[in-house]
Structure 1
C-alpha cells in the first residue's frame, strides 16, 4: 500500500504537512496492513462480551498449557518469567512523578495551544504522558494539533522556546505565592529534565481523518503510534531520550501481541533496532488483570511497566459483571484503591512487575492518578493536599516506583514523598509470585459494604452530564465538581477525563437495571434506607441536576453550551442509563456527535448507534462527517 491509497479528509494533508510528512505518510502506509487485524480483534471483543452476558459467565484465567495467540510463548512460561523482557533505560529508571494531559487546547492558535507542553516540561515532573486519548479533545483537528505541538517542542522550535520562557515566569510567580520559593532556576535546562511520553489511542477507536485503501476508517492506534514516533524519534534519540509510549485499554495478551507486531514493524520500517520503542501498559481492563504476565511476555523487549489507574478499571469491572444482578457498585467515592476488588487488582500488578524474566529483568509499577488541583479556599486546599500526600505515601509503601498527577501544580506537592525515600525505583522488591486460583478470581470482583445513596447518585449524574458537555466543547480533560458544590471553595475541582464520566454512567446503569438498594435515607426526596433505585427516582434526579446546570454561572457551565452541547450530553447520558443493553463505550456516543450542536441530529445519531448495537452487536466508530477532498 502506498501513501496515495490512503484517504485524508478535506485538505488536511496540506494544512498539516508538518505532521503528514512524506516520511510519516510512508510509515502509515507500511502499517496500514494492521487495520484489518485490529478490526477483527475488536469484533472478537464484542462477541466475547456478548457471549459472557448471554451465558452469564465470569472472566477466567488462561489455560496454562495454551499458547498466547500471536506468539510462540506458552502461558505457563509467561507466568514463570521464561521470556525475554526489557532492560529499563536510564531515563525511565526514576519516574517518581509523571504528569499527564494533552499537548493542545481546543480552538486555540499554536502560540496559545502549545502552552500546555511548556507547563508540562517545566513542571519538574520526572516524566509527562502527553495524552492522545482520554484527555485529548477530538473536535475539529485537535489530534493533529496535539501531534504538531509535540513535534515543535521536541524539536525545540523557536516558537515553543518563546512560549516556554513566558510560561516559566508565570509558574515561578505561582510557586513563590504557594510554595514560598521558585521551582525553575534555568528554564532552558529545565526543559531537558522531563521524559517525554505519549499515550496513543486504544485499539477500540478510529481516527477521524484517515481511511485505508478500502475506505475503512484507520485505527487510531496505528495513526497515533506512527505519527508520533516517525516525526520525533530522531530528535528524541539525539537528545539522549527514549522513545516511550503508554498503551491503553488492552484486554488480552493477544492484543498486546498485536501491539508488539505493530511496534516491531514500525521499528523495522524506520531502521530502528527491535525493542527501541518502550511501552508502559495501563491496566484499565479487568480481563487484563487475569493475564498480566502474559501481556508482559507478549510485548517482550518493548515492555517497561504497568500503571494502575482507577476510573477505567472500575468501569471495566462494572461492564464485565453487567449480567450479574448481584454485582452492584457503591458510591463512586467509596471505590478507592484500598476497596475490595481494587485492592486485589493493585496487588496482582505489583506482583507481576516484580517477577523477573529469564534474564533477571523486572518491570516498573507506576501508581495511580492524583486528580486534585490546589485551587480553592485555604482550608479546602490544605485538606485536599493532605489527602493527596497520604495517597502517595500509601502507594510508595506498597511498592510503586512513582505515580501520576493531573495538573502541573501538584508535582512539587506530591514528589517529595519519593524524594524523602530517595530510591530511584522499587524494581525487584520481593512479593509472592502470582497464583491463579478460584479465590484469586473471586478477589478481582470482590465487593465490600459501602454507602449507596441519593447524594452519591446526584454526584454521579452531575459530573457525568458536565463531562459530556465538556467533551462536546473539545475539553476531554476538565476541572469539575458536582453542582451542589458550585461556589463552595472548600470543595476543590477535580481533573476529570473520559473514564471518570464513563464510570459514573456505568454505576447509574447498574443501580437502575439491577434494582440497587439505597443504604441511607434522604429527607429531600423521601427515600428511606432500604428503598430501591427506580426509574422514576432516576428521572427526578436527572431533571433536578440538569436544572442546576442550566442555572449555574458561566464559570461552571458555559452559557453558550446550555443550548448546544449540554442538551446533547443529557440525551447521551439518558440513553446510556436507560438502555436495556449496556453500551460498551460512552465515548462512542460522544464521538459520533463531535462538532455537532444540533439536538435533533444528535438524537438521530444516538438512535442509529443504539439500533446498530442492538440489531447487529456492532459499534459505530467512524467519523460520520468524513468527507474526502473534493466531496
Structure 2
C-alpha cells in the first residue's frame, strides 16, 4: 500500500492484477507531480477568465521568451532548433488508426475482451485504446479497460479463445459486405496492429484514487497503469510504447506531460524517449504554439492528430465572450470551413518543419465516424463520403486518419494503399508564420446556415449523448431523433466531444442573440429572428419528448425515468447559465451512478454556484 494515496474500497483486492505492487510504487513515485497539474489547471481557468473579462484574444508567444517549464526559447522551437524523436518502425506507417475502449459498460470479462479482439483483428495499422472520451467511467470501467488490454497484450489464453471466435464473425460480415474474408490467419493478424493508449486529460481526476483527501490526476493514473503493466511484454515483442495525449492547451501543458514521461522512464529504468506520444490538437491555443509543443515534448513526440468536435468546442469556448463570434449549424463546420481550414493547414506545416537533425513528425488526420450499417442506399452514400474525405486528407498531406469502428478500416485504408507511401513526413509546405493575419485565420467565420433544424440536431444528440454517458456508454451510435427509423440516415459513432460542442454552440446562440438564417414553418420563426431562451426551452421539451417516445433501440427504456431526465437537467442548466461552464463532462462525471433527479439537480446547482463564485471546478468523485 502506498503512503500518500487512498483507493476506493475494494479496488485493490478486486483489481490486484491491475494495481500490482510495481504499479503502486510507480503511482507513489509520480504522485508528487500532481501538485503541478493542479497549478496548471488553475492557470488555465485564470487565462480563460482574464480573456473573457478583458475581451482578449489568444495570441502567439513572444519569440524571445522561454517556453514555460523548459529552457527552450520560443524562437528556437519555431526554427526546429531542438532534437526531435526518432519515429520507430511500427509508427512509420499508420495509414488507419482505429479508436475505441477495451471494454463495455458492466460487462463480464469475455464480453469486454471482444472489444480488444475486434480492434486488433481489424486490419488497422494502429488502434488507440481509449481511456478518455470514448470510455465510460461508471463503476470500474476504467480498470476493466486496463485489465482487458493487459490480458490481450500478454496473449492470455482467455483472450485468444475470444479472438478466434471474433475473427470468424468478422470474416462472415466481410464475406457479405465485400464478397471475401478480411482475416487469413487470425493469430498473425493480432500482431499487425500497433497498440496505442489515450490517457485522460489533465483536467480530469481519477474516480478510484485520491491523494491527501483530494482528487488525483487521471492522466497520471492512466499513464502508469498502461505503461507499467505492459512495457515488458511490448518490448519483448519488439513493439513501441505509445500514448495519445489529449486536451493540452499550451506548450507549458506539454512540458508538464514531458516531465511525467521522463519521471516514469526514470522510475522504470527505461532510456529517455522510450515512451512515444502523439498529441491531439483539440484546443485552439495549441495552434498558436504547435512548434513549441513539439519542442517541449522532445524526445517523445512523434505526431499531431487533427480532430474535429473537440477543436470546434475549444474555439467556441475561447471566444464565448465575443458577441461577434457565432457558429453556424454544426453540419457546416467541416474541415474545409473557415477557422478549421486554417487549423489543419498550420498542423501540417508544423509537422513538416524539420528539427536540427532533419527529422519531421507525423500528421494523423481526423475521425471518420460513419458505420456501414443501414439501408443499401444510405450505406452507399455514406461510404462514398467517407472515402472522399479520406482522399482529401491524403491529398492535403496526412499520413493517415482515424476510424471509429472496425468495419470502416477496409473501406478507408485503400486510399493510402493506392498512394503507397508509408507516410508523408517531409512533404514540402510553406513555413509557419506568426502574423496578425495568421491569428485572425484561426478564428475566421464564413457564411453558413443557422436553422431550427440545426438547433434540433444540436439538442437531440446532446441529450442522447448525456444519457448514454450516464449509462456508461461514453461512445455511442447516435443520430437526431427525427431520423429514428430512417435507415437511409446512418448512425454516427460519437464520443464526449460531440456533446461538448453541441452545448457550446447552443450556449452561443442564446447568449449572443444569434439570428436564424431561414424561416421555419413548424415553429413560426422567421429568417433573421433571434434564437431566444424561450425558443430553446420549447425545442428542448419537444426533442426530449421524442426521446421519451423512442424505441429501446434508440433510447434504452431503462433510462427514460432515470438518467434521461438528468441529461435534460444538465443540458437545460448548462445552456441557460449566463456564466458558461468550460466542460459538459464535468457535470456528467459529477452525476455518474446517480438516478435520482433531485440529487442530480442539487449537484448541478452546487457545481455552477461554485464555478460562478470563484472559478473552481468540482471534479472529484463525490461518491468515493
1:248 aligns with 2:260: no
Alignment partner, residue 84 of structure 1: 83
SS in 2 for 1:114: helix
Residue by residue, what CA displacement relative to the aligned partner does 1:68-102 show, whole Å, maximum 9, x if unpaired?
01111000000000001011100000000000000
Alignment partner, residue 515 of structure 2: 517
Residue by residue, what CA displacement relative to the aligned partner does 1:320-357 show, whole Å, maximum 9, x if unpaired?
00000010000000000000000000000000000000
SS in 2 for 1:338: coil
Alignment partner, residue 335 of structure 2: 337
Alignment partner, residue 26 of structure 2: 27
- Could you say what the CA RMSD is over the residues aligned between the two structures, in angstroms? 0.5
Alignment partner, residue 619 of structure 2: 621
SS in 2 for 1:78: helix
SS in 1 for 2:70: coil
1:5 to partner: Cα distance: 2.7
SS in 2 for 1:173: helix
Distance 2:456 2:356 in 1: 51
SS in 2 for 1:63: coil
Alignment partner, residue 228 of structure 1: 226
Alignment partner, residue 424 of structure 2: 426
Distance 1:179 1:618 in 2: 53
Alignment partner, residue 118 of structure 1: 117
Q: Tell me, which stretches of 5 or more residues in structure 2 are unaligned?
A: none
Alignment partner, residue 159 of structure 1: 158
Residue by residue, what CA displacement relative to the aligned partner does 1:116-163 show, whole Å, maximum 9, x if unpaired?
000000000000000000000000000000000010000001000000
1:280 aligns with 2:283: no
1:4 to partner: Cα distance: 3.3
> Following superposition of structure 1 onto structure 2, how do residues 495-506 of structure 1 map, counting pairs within 5 Å?
495-506=493-504
Residue by residue, what CA displacement relative to the aligned partner does 1:14-54 show, whole Å, maximum 9, x if unpaired?
10000000000000000001110000100110111011000
Residue by residue, what CA displacement relative to the aligned partner does 1:245-264 show, whole Å, maximum 9, x if unpaired?
00000000011000001000
SS in 2 for 1:272: coil
> Following superposition of structure 1 onto structure 2, how do residues 307-318 of structure 1 map, counting pairs within 5 Å?
307-318=305-316
Alignment partner, residue 592 of structure 1: 590
Alignment partner, residue 415 of structure 2: 417
SS in 2 for 1:14: helix
1:536 to partner: Cα distance: 1.1
> Following superposition of structure 1 onto structure 2, how do residues 31-430 of structure 1 map, counting pairs within 5 Å?
31-212=30-211, 214-430=212-428
Residue by residue, what CA displacement relative to the aligned partner does 1:196-251 show, whole Å, maximum 9, x if unpaired?
00000000000010112x22211000000001000000100111110000000000
Distance 1:138 1:295 in 2: 29
Distance 2:477 2:117 in 1: 20
Distance 1:93 1:518 in 2: 47
Distance 2:451 2:594 in 1: 35
SS in 2 for 1:130: strand
SS in 2 for 1:129: strand
Distance 1:559 1:105 in 2: 19
Q: Tell me, which stretches of 5 or more residues in structure 1 are unaligned?
A: 627-631
Paired residues, number: 624
Distance 1:261 1:41 in 2: 13
Distance 1:240 1:528 in 2: 63
Alignment partner, residue 507 of structure 1: 505
Distance 1:119 1:61 in 2: 43
> Following superposition of structure 1 onto structure 2, how do residues 512-591 of structure 1 map, counting pairs within 5 Å?
512-591=510-589
SS in 2 for 1:479: strand
Distance 1:37 1:373 in 2: 41
Residue by residue, what CA displacement relative to the aligned partner does 1:486-531 show, whole Å, maximum 9, x if unpaired?
0000000000100001100100000000000100111011111111
SS in 1 for 2:560: helix
Distance 2:115 2:3 in 1: 34
Distance 2:538 2:199 in 1: 39
Residue by residue, what CA displacement relative to the aligned partner does 1:296-319 show, whole Å, maximum 9, x if unpaired?
000001000000000000000000
Distance 2:2 2:400 in 1: 41
Q: Which runs of 4+ in 1 moved over 2 A?
A: none
Alignment partner, residue 438 of structure 1: 436
Distance 1:617 1:262 in 2: 26
Alignment partner, residue 608 of structure 1: 606
Length-normalised TM-score, structure 2: 1.00
SS in 2 for 1:440: helix
Distance 1:5 1:418 in 2: 49
Alignment partner, residue 629 of structure 1: none
1:473 aligns with 2:455: no
Length-normalised TM-score, structure 1: 0.99
More displaced stretch, 5-14 vs 471-480: 5-14
Distance 1:178 1:47 in 2: 52
Distance 1:584 1:537 in 2: 23
Distance 2:40 2:3 in 1: 26
Distance 1:475 1:454 in 2: 28
SS in 2 for 1:3: coil
Alignment partner, residue 5 of structure 1: 4
